[in-house]
Amino acid sequence: MQYPHDSEVNASPAPTDRASKLNTQSRGNNLNTTRDGATRKRRAGAEDVEIGRKIRALRLERGLSQSALAEGIGLTFQQVQKYEKGTNRVSAGRLQRIAEILNTPVTFFYGSVGPQAKKRDPRNTSLAFLQTKGAVRLIRAYSEISSRTTKYALVVLAESLRNKEKG
């Protein structure tokens, strides 16, 4: 079975001139150009994954569910999941709205993103800890302990367990 659009796509010649080839490569911005000259949106990349990780970490830190964040920006929680995983790209306007809901400047999401980013940026190390399973629960429980002695004992215990695992 042949679909109407198949003949249209196959009928148009592939770009042969140098300018058309350059347009399909677009200086690393991952734009995909179809044979008929239409441009599709680029796929999510490493930067989008990093922005999604930051959205998730801040959302958890603020105690918001995916549904609550989604409601605030007028989307479904599934779309928020896709943003957080980096599957879908977040538009600039939507990222601005997310930043407002999470009470953070939009520039936070762009810090240390891209090819010039250092692997170990001290601003992001606390966020990396928050993304591990159970970290937010542990921090919340710790913050609700009123006794300084108990807090100290918990820290000593955690460090002891860490050292035991290291060998």
68-85 pLDDT per residue, tens: 999 999 999 999 999 999
Grade residue 132 by pLDDT with cuts at 50, 70 and 90.
Answer: low
**pLDDT given at position 63:** 87
Give the pTM.
Answer: 0.52
pLDDT of residue 134: 77
CA nearest 53: which of 90, 99, 86, 93? 86
Collect all residues with Cβ–Cβ distance below 8 Å to 72 and sequence separation of at least 6: 97, 101
- Given this model, what pLDDT does residue 28 score? 43
Contact (CB, 8 A) for 39 and 33 = yes
pLDDT (tens digit per residue) in 12-61? 444 444 444 444 443 344 455 556 666 666 677 888 888 998 999 889 88
Q: Which one-letter DSSP state was computed for residue 106?
A: T
Looking at per-residue pLDDT, the higher value among 103 and 4 belongs to: 103
- Residues of the chain with pLDDT > 70: what percent? 62
32 φ, ψ (degrees, to nearest 5): -105, 125
- Model confidence at 99: pLDDT above 90: yes
State the chain's mean pLDDT as an integer. 75
Q: Which alpha helices (H) appear in the chain, and where do they start and end?
A: 4-11, 18-25, 46-61, 66-73, 77-85, 92-101, 107-110, 122-130, 135-143, 148-166
